Structure 1
Amino acid sequence: MKIIFNPPDNKENQYINLMVAPLRASGFEIYALDDFFSSYKHFKSIDLVHLNWFENVDDSSFFVALRSFFRKMVVLLAIRLFKKPLVWTMHNRSSHEKGLRFFSRTLNKLLIKWADRIIIHSHISRHILIERNAQVASKIVYLPHPNFIDVYGPILPGSNDSSGILNLLFIGVVKPYKNIELLIKLAKEFKTDLILTIAGKPASEKYGRALEEIGKDAENLNLQLRFIEDTEIPDLFREVDLLVLPYDLESSLNSGTVILAFSYGKTVICPLIGTLDDMQEVHEDILTYRYNGKKEHEAVLRRTIANAINLKKAKNDIFKEKGVRLFHYVQQRHNNQQIGKELISIYKSFKQSVKKEGKTS
């Protein structure tokens, strides 16, 4: 089969490569969406289109958003008119971009309506989709999010630090919906009890400068506002106790960074997003929480961080123990080989249905 898998790569994390690798190994031909209209022969040869994050629209300006929206509409209409099987992976509850949401909402509705299969990475996604369109239930397929075990390098042993100071890490693209300002504010409050490292490239230079200004007088803050190379990840994880990911529940649903943390034997402080809601068996090993509104988020996150500080003071190795259990959990429940087999099965079902239709006619 010849497949359009969009995006064909993602420098910010290895999710795309993990999903595509078993397809290539099984003989699938993978092409980029940019080449979809390169020639009529190529367009006609494509057996299936799989879209990720396609509903997101660059909202840096109205004209940029309009152009992005128009181009994506052309792609969706072409897929629809020429009856190309369409697979869409639902990654977020809604687009993280706050401005010009009409464009992303429209694309989201069309993807839900026109997709032949909708892949979800958390079970709560099914309920969200059915609330939006009850007719889509039969085309929803659950696949676990792939794990990142050894993807960025091996787990490195940390030092036997017995200081009792909590070492927190935020890693990922630094965007406003991830509540980095709140994280810096709380780090200042616990200045003698924790060290916070924020590692990742800001969404814009302006946003990066604003965060530097907010955190300029915090001695316990380590700002690494830059693109983090894959090879740096094991070293960043080496000395931290756990990750802190105070996501916005309005748009957040799944988190590859949560799976990354567990893949490297670290637990997390994080709201109860879909990824964590699925992991009932290991909830005792995760510092998760709920909130309603920004004010409550601050209060609940403050209590959760204070709880983590107290847990480490009571037992220095407690987060290592939790991390080991979470590592084994994602190793078994988020097995990349099995995920690859299930994805291939989804794709082949379209090929089989085409053959059946041909025999019937």
Structure 2
Amino acid sequence: MSRPERIVVQQSFPPPRPTTNPYIVMLLDALLATPGLEVRTFSWRSALLGRYDVFHAHWPEILVAGHSPLKALVRQGLTVLLLLRLAVTRTPIVRSMHNLHLPQGISRRERAILRWFDRRTALRIGLNPTTLFPPGAAHETILHGDYREWFAAYPHPGREAGRIGYFGLIRRYKGVEELLEVFAGLPGDGLRLTVAGRPSSEELAESVRALAARDPRIAVRLAFLEDADIADLVGRSQLIALPYRDMHNSGGVLAALSLDRPVLVPGNETTEALAREVGEQWVLRYDELTPEVLGAAIARAEEIAADDRPDLSARSWADAGRRHLDAYARTFTLRNPRRPPEGA
């Protein structure tokens, strides 16, 4: 099958809402502005009955999840129908690798469907240069874009000496409880820690509140953050601490860097590469989070000039639409390997 003049791509995300991940909103804007590409946001009717050339998945686990066992079962059935439809019509799946592993705590049925989804994927898109792909799998790397333009409309307050911030969804693997315990062991009356974001469970919320109550220097706000709240929290912070236990792709890291604040993150291949890209002083890494490590990171953050900025030139959205169009187009060559590449 040859490449159509205009590629129609069905996305796995619905029309954006105020709470939609900014990455998705900016990606959609970039795709809609790309000549030769028609984009459709997700509905089950569109995905199952609509006509399109490529299905682009982001977080496939969302397709099989539901707020109740019955809703989950219905969505899992619909996902099976979708995969059958894609197989019968030979419609390729392109998947952005936001997560490298299956979610924890899912059912055997969900796991089986997601593995089937993975086997049916024709091409994978890595969001950073260290993403590992299955041997022989077709892939492209399109770097996760920055958030500078996204936050440009909001006030950017000056940084406050000794203030550390954490923002974003609060989940067990993000290490917020560990951060609270480590900060409590760090002496200094002039230090402050602000933790803000929506917890994944009431149990976790209670744990965070209990740990924060032990130290008057800690403030918590356990609620969804608007963009203006994030710009304010990050702007006032001298350092953003994001102690995720497993860090590969992080919109929070890029949001902090886009607002010109250094981040403290676990050291791994991904964060080492990011430090080389944007500047070593902006991505501070550790092997084990301790009060001494946290104190040293604050001291290093103090050395950054107020008008200095990380180098995010490789994270521009200007070329993202075309790069995705090229990735979609490549799937037509993959479906028909005897067809020579264009221009050959």
TM-score in terms of structure 2 length: 0.82
Give yes or no for the alignment of 1:110 onto 2:91.
no
> Is the CA contact (8 Å cut-off) linking 2:264 and 2:284 kept in structure 1?
yes
Instruction: Describe the SS at the equivalent of 2:105.
Output: coil
Secondary structure in 2 aligned to 1:183? helix
2:300 is aligned, of 303, 311, 316, to 311
Aligned to 2:214: 217
Secondary structure in structure 2 of the residue aligned to 1:288: strand
SS in structure 1 of the partner of residue 208 of structure 2:
helix
| Gap regions ≥5 residues in structure 2 | 1-6
Describe the SS at the equivalent of 1:141. Answer: strand
Aligned equivalent of 1:263, options 255, 258, 263: 258
Quote the residue 2:141 is aligned against: 142
Aligned-residue offset at 1:246? 0.6
Aligned AA (1:77): L
Residue by residue over 1:148-180, the C-alpha shift from the partner in whole angstroms, topping out at 9 and shown as x without a partner, is 01303357454475xxx5211111111111011
Counterparts of 1:37 and 1:148, CA distance in 2: 30
Distance 1:98 1:356 in 2: 36
Please tell me the root mean square deviation across aligned C-alpha atoms, in Å. 3.2
Shift of 1:75: 2.3
After TM superposition, the score normalised by the length of structure 1 is 0.79
Alignment partner of 1:272 is 2:267: yes
- Give distance in 1, aligned partners of 2:325 and 2:130: 23
Structure 1 residues 117 and 343: alpha-carbon distance in aligned structure 2, compared to 1, 3 A threshold: same
1:195 aligns with 2:210: no
Deviations 1:3-23 (A, max 9, x none): 211223362530001111121
The equivalent of 1:293 in structure 2 is: none
Cα distance, 1:356–1:121 mapped onto 2, change above 3 Å: closer
Preserved CA contact (<8 Å) 1:287 1:304: no
Q: How does 1:276-355 map to 2 (within 5 A)?
A: 276-279=271-274, 280-281=276-277, 282-290=279-287, 297=288, 300-311=289-300, 316=302, 318-320=303-305, 324-326=308-310, 329-330=311-312, 332-350=313-331
Structure with the bigger RCO (C-alpha within 8 Å, sep 6+) is 2
Q: Deviations over 1:299-318 (max 9, x none)?
A: x3433202123435xxx4x2
* CA–CA distance in structure 2, aligned partners of residues 306 and 264 of structure 1: 22
**Is 1:78–2:85 an aligned residue pair?**
yes
Asked if structure 1 preserves the Cα contact closer than 8 Å seen for 2:34 and 2:321, the reply is no
Please report how far the alpha carbon of residue 101 of structure 1 lies from its aligned counterpart in structure 2 after TM superposition. Answer: 6.3
Counterpart of 1:324, as a letter, is D
- Partner AA of 1:218 in structure 2: D
Query: Structure 1: how far apart are the matches of 2:139 and 2:255?
Result: 25
How far apart are the structure 1 equivalents of 2:270 and 2:299? 26
Q: Equivalents in 2 of 1:221, 1:33: separation in Å?
A: 41
Give the C-alpha shift of residue 223 in structure 1: 0.6
**Per-residue deviation, 1:324:** 2.9
C-alpha displacement of 1:352: 7.8
Letter in 1 for 2:131: S
